[in-house]
Chain A
C-alpha cells in the first residue's frame, strides 16, 4: 500500500507537469520530467502489484517518450504496459497493446523487435484468446518477411507453428511451415528447409488429407535442396506406406526413420509418432489415384 500511494503521488506530480500553466511559465508540457515520473510511478505500482495502475502509468510514459521522439523507448514502455495488462488479466487489451508496441518498434526501424513483440503477445494470449493469438502470429511472420531477415528468426516461426498445431489448426500450421521453408531456403539453411517440407507432409497426413499431403510433397520435390535430401526419401517412403493402406507398414516406416522424424519441430514430431491416424483406406485410394509411387522398384524393361 505504501508503494501504491507513493505511485499515486508521482502520477499526480507528473500530471501537473503535463498541464500547461502560465504561473510556472510552462507553455509546453514538460515531457522529459513527466516521463521520468511516470516511469517511477509504474515501478512503484508494479512492486505493489497494482497492475492496472502500473499499466496506465506505463502507457503515459510511452506517450511521453513518443512526444519526445524516442520511438524505441516508447515501444519498450508499451511492451511493459502490455505485460502489466497480462498480469492484471485484461485480456482484451493485451493484443492492442502488443500491436502498439510492435508499431512503435517498426517506427524505430527495428522490425525484428516488432516481430518479437507480436510473438510474445501471441504466446501470452494462446490460452485465453486463441484467435487473437493466431492473428498476432501471422502479423509477426509478416513483419519478419517484410524486413527480409526471416531466415534469422526461426524462433518466431517455430512458435507460430507450435501454437497452430497445438490448437489443431493444421492448415495454418502447414502454411507457416511452408513460409518458414521459403525463408530458410533464402537464408541458405538447407537442413531446416528440408525438415520443414517433411513436416508439412506429416501434418497433412495426420490431419487425414492425403491429397494435400501429396500435393505438398510434389511441390516440395521441385525444390532442388529438398529433392536431394534424406527427408525427401523418408517422405516418399511414408507416402508409399500410406498408398499401401497398411497401418503396420506406416508404423514401420516411421520407426525405421525415427531419427529423421524425431528431428523435426517438436510438435510435428509428436504428430509423426501418432501416425497412422484416420481413415487409411480412403487415404490410400486418394493417393493411388494421385501420383506414382516413390519407389516403384526396378523396371526390367528400362535399360537406362
Chain B
C-alpha cells in the first residue's frame, strides 16, 4: 500500500543545511496499522508529512497505492490525497467558519458525492455528535472537535489514514475514547492507519511500531523493544 525507498529530507536553515531524515525504508501493507514513535524532534512529523504527500522529499521515492508520489506535482498529489488519504491532526484543523456537519461533508463534496449530507449526519451520529450538527468548532470542546475531525477523516472512505498525535491535546480519558473510536472505525472501514504518538499504550494497539531516532528508522525488533519499554 505504502512504500518508501531511501527517503531523505534536508532543509536549509540559517546555520546551513539540516538533515532531518536519512535513508528511511519502509513498507506498509493494506489494512495494517502502524505507530511511528520516537523522541521529540526525531523527525516523526516530517516523515508523516512526506508519506502523506504533504511535502516533497529531497531524496528517495514514495509509492502510495503503486503511484509514485515523488514524481507528481502538487496538483496531482492533491488529487491523490483527495482520493486515497485522510488526516487526523493533533490540533483538529476544522474549518472555523463551517459547522460540524459541513466540516464532515467537505471531503465528500470535494469529490462530488451526491448524498454527502446524509452520510455526514450518519458519521456524526456514529461518533456521538448527532445532536451537535450545527455547532461551530469553537462551540465544541477539544474532544468533540477531534471526534468531528475523525468523522471527517473517514467521510471520504480513505485507503490510508494519517494521524499525528491525535490524542496529544486531550486528557487521558478523552484521549482513550478518541483512540477507541479511531481503531473501531479503522477496523470497520478497513483503512490503513499510520499514527504518530508519544503514548506507548496507543502505539501498542497498532499492529506494529516503527521507531525513529534522529532521522533514522531503527530496525524493527529494537523498535518493538523501544515501544514496549
Specify whether A and B are partners.
no
* B interface residues (Cβ-Cβ under 8 A, vs A): none
